[in-house]
């Protein structure tokens, strides 16, 4: 939210999703990088289906 909405820590608290400045500050250090966003588009393997078929 900080990146997309351009909010600072006080702005995060004002959205009422965080109880106080301290809890919002813990969130502030996290950021989603472009590489992480792109990795969401990669295909995944259905592990449960492979195990059911006996594939290791």
The whole-model pTM stands at: 0.45
Long-range contacts of 42-49 (CB under 8 A, 24+ apart): none
Instruction: Tell which wins on pLDDT, 23 or 6.
Output: 23
Instruction: Tell which wins on pLDDT, 33 or 49.
Output: 33
| Segments forming the whole domain that contains residue 6 | 2-53
**Does pLDDT of 17 surpass 60?**
yes
Number of domains in the chain: 1
**Does pLDDT of 56 surpass 70?**
no
Q: How long a stretch of residues is the chain?
A: 56
């Amino acid at each position: 939210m900080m990146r997309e909405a351009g909010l600072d820590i006080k702005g995060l608290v004002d959205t009422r999703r965080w109880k106080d400045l301290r809890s919002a500050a813990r969130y502030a250090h996290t950021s989603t990088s472009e590489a992480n966003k792109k990795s969401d588009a990669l295909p995944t393997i259905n592990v449960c289906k492979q195990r059911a078929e006996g594939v290791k």
